[in-house]
Amino acid sequence: MELRFYNSMTRRVEAFETLAPGKVGMYTCGPTVYNFAHIGNFRAYLFEDFLRRTLEFAGYEVRQVMNLTDVDDKTIRGSQQAGKALKDYTAPYIAAFFEDLKALNVEPAAVYPAATDHIPEMKALIQALFDKGIAYKSEDGSVYFSVDKFPDYGKLAHLDRSALRSGVRIDADEYDKEGVGDFALWKGWDEKDGDVAWDAPWGRGRPGWHLECSAMSMKYLGESFDLHTGGVDNLFPHHENEIAQAEAVTGKPFVRTWMHCAHLRVNGQKMSKSLGNFFTLRDLQAQGWAGREIRYVLLNAHYRQPLNFTFEALSAARAALARVDECVDALAARAEQAAADTGARVASQLDAFAAALADDLNAPEAFAALFAFVRAANAALNAGLPPAGAAAALDELRRMDRALGFVFFGRAAQEAVPAEIQALADARARARAQKAWAESDRLRDELAAKGWQVRDGKDGQTLKPLAK
Contact between 40 and ligand AMP (CB under 6 A)?
yes
| Contact call for residue 261 and Zn ion (CB under 5 A) | no
Scanning residues 41 to 60, which ones bind ligand AMP (CB under 6 A)? 41, 43-44
Residue 52 or 270: which CB sits closer to ligand AMP?
270
233 binds ligand AMP (CB under 6 A): yes
Give the nearest distance from C-beta 401 to ligand AMP in angstroms.
Answer: 24
CB of 128 to ligand AMP, least distance (A): 26
Closest separation in Å from C-beta 207 to Zn ion: 12
**Which residue type is seen at 151?**
P
Window contacting ligand AMP (CB under 6 A); options: 57-65, 96-104, 230-238, 336-344? 230-238
Given a contact cutoff of 8 angstroms between Cβ atoms, the answer to whether 104 and 295 are in contact is yes
In the shown chain, the binding pattern of residues 24 to 63 toward Zn ion, with x for contact by CB under 5 A and - for none, equals -----x----------------------------------
Interface with ligand AMP includes 270 (CB under 6 A)?
A: yes
- Residue 231 contacts ligand AMP per CB under 6 A: yes
Residue type (1 letter), 220 = Y
Answer for the pair 135, 185: CB distance below 8 angstroms, yes or no.
yes
Site size toward ligand AMP (CB under 6 A) is: 17
> CA–CA separation, 49 vs 28, rounded Å?
10
| Cα(245)–Cα(159) distance, integer angstroms | 17
Residue 256 interacts with which of ligand AMP, Zn ion, none, CB < 5 to 8 Å by class:
none
> Is 281 within 8 Å of 100 (Cβ atoms)?
yes
Helices marked H in 132-259: 161-165, 209-221, 240-250
Comparison of 261 and 380: residue with beta carbon closer to ligand AMP: 261
Q: What is the number of helices (H) and of strands (E) in the chain?
A: 16, 15
**228, containing H or E segment:** strand 225-231
Site for ligand AMP contains 271 (CB under 6 A): yes
Enumerate residues 6+ apart whose C-beta is below 8 A from 434: none
Q: Does 73 bind ligand AMP (CB under 6 A)?
A: no
Q: Is 196 helix (H, G, I), strand (E, B) or coil?
A: coil
Residue with Cβ nearer Zn ion (29 or 381): 29
Q: Is 250 helix (H, G, I), strand (E, B) or coil?
A: helix
List, edge to edge, every strand of the sheet that includes 255-261.
61-66, 23-28, 225-231, 255-261
In the chain the first and final C-alpha atoms are separated, in Å, by 43
213, interface contact from ligand AMP, Zn ion, none, CB < 5-8 Å by kind: Zn ion
250 binds ligand AMP (CB under 6 A): no
Whole-number minimum distance, CB 328 to Zn ion, in Å?
A: 38
**DSSP symbol at 329:** H
Tell me if 440 contacts ligand AMP by CB under 6 A.
Answer: no
Judged by CB under 5 A, the stretch of 57-65, 114-122, 209-217, 257-265 that binds Zn ion is: 209-217
Of 154, 207, 230, 291, which one interacts with ligand AMP (CB under 6 A)?
230
Cα–Cα distance, 26 to 7 (Å, whole number):
14
Shortest distance (Å) from residue 43 CB to ligand AMP: 4
Q: Where are the alpha helices (DSSP H) in 34-72?
A: 39-57
Least Cα distance to 42 among 113, 112, 104, 111 occurs for 104
Bridge partners for 123 per DSSP:
none
**Pick 255 or 407: Cβ nearer Zn ion:** 255
Residues that bind ligand AMP (CB under 6 A): 29, 31-32, 40-41, 43-44, 230-231, 233-234, 261, 263-264, 270-272
Residues that bind Zn ion (CB under 5 A): 29, 213
